[in-house]
């Protein structure tokens, strides 16, 4: 068990480009979460999956954002037509059971810079 | 989920106990108190959680007041590696999403 991994760790892109991030949760973790963190702030919830089903999306997740978790394993977060305001750390977390109170295990994050 | 209030920053001498307070006066009976920390450039890390009894694990102790309106996270012998932002989060079963709602946390600086 190597923990939650995220790829890439850093991404620099130009405004208007599309970017995709990948998250590999701890194996057999049913729940997968995406958060966004801007400088000096705590992480903000974006969306979560129970297995392959996306069960909640924050209003922060505009229509330029889409997340998937095919087959309930890894997940991808895509941002289309990036804007400078999308610059942030994107964090992925997973938890082992669907009870809702289990601790979440976070990955190292993907730092996105939009020029 | 109830809102929490934490001091913006605290200092602690290496080897001494670090006591990090958190106010959660609107906590409801079925909500738990969680603590996470985030070391610079890393993802948050779970520390401990509790409902109403005091809790201890290998990382820290959590003291919850009898009225549950506040709590204190105690790092018994702080080291330089404990320098981080510490988040106090109140979380219940409502909606059962399990999502965490982070505030701005307390930046703990452990000094030699």
Per-residue pLDDT of chain A (115 residues; tens, 9 = 90+): 579 999 999 999 999 999 999 999 999 898 999 999 999 899 999 999 999 999 999 998 889 999 999 988 999 999 999 999 999 999 999 998 655 567 899 999 999 999 9
Better-predicted residue by pLDDT, B92 or A86: A86
- Distance from the Cα of B92 to chain A's closest Cα (Å) equals 8
CB contact under 8 A, B99 and A33: yes
User: Would you state the pLDDT for residue B16?
Assistant: 97
The mean per-residue pLDDT over the stretch B3-15 comes to: 95
User: Would you state the pLDDT for residue B94?
Assistant: 59
CB contact under 8 A, B91 and A44: no
Residues of A within 8 A of B95 (CB-CB) are 56
Among A64, A79, A91, A100, smallest CA distance to B102 is for: A91
User: Would you state the pLDDT for residue B5?
Assistant: 94
The mean per-residue pLDDT over the stretch B33-39 comes to: 96
The residue behind tokens 């290496």 is B14
User: Would you state the pLDDT for residue A42?
Assistant: 94
B4 in helix, strand or coil?
Answer: coil
User: Would you state the pLDDT for residue B93?
Assistant: 65
The mean per-residue pLDDT over the stretch B13-32 comes to: 94
- Asked whether the beta carbons of B61 and B33 are under 8 A apart, the reply is no
User: Would you state the pLDDT for residue B28?
Assistant: 87
Q: Which positions ≥6 away from B58 have C-beta within 8 Å?
A: none
């Amino acid at each position: 068990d190597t923990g939650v991994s995220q790829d890439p760790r850093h991404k620099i892109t130009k405004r208007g480009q599309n970017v995709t991030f990948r998250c590999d949760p701890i194996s057999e973790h049913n729940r997968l979460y995406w958060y966004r963190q801007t400088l000096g702030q705590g992480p903000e919830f974006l969306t979560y999956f129970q297995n392959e089903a996306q069960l909640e999306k924050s209003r922060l997740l505009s229509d330029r954002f889409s997340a998937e978790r095919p087959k309930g394993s890894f997940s991808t977060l895509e941002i289309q037509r990036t804007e400078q305001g999308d610059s942030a750390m994107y964090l992925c977390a997973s938890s082992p059971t669907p009870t809702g109170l289990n601790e979440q295990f976070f990955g190292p994050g993907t730092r996105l810079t939009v020029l | 989920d109830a809102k929490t209030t934490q001091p913006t920053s605290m200092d602690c001498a290496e080897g001494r106990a670090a006591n990090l307070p958190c106010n959660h006066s609107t906590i409801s009976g079925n909500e738990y108190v969680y603590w996470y920390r985030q070391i610079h450039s890393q993802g948050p890390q779970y520390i401990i959680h509790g409902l109403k009894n005091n809790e201890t694990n290998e990382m820290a102790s959590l003291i919850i007041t009898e009225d549950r309106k506040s709590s204190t996270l105690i790092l018994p012998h702080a080291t330089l590696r404990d320098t981080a932002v510490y988040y106090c989060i109140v979380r219940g079963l409502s909606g059962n999403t399990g999502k965490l709602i982070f505030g701005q946390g307390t930046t703990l600086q452990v000094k030699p």
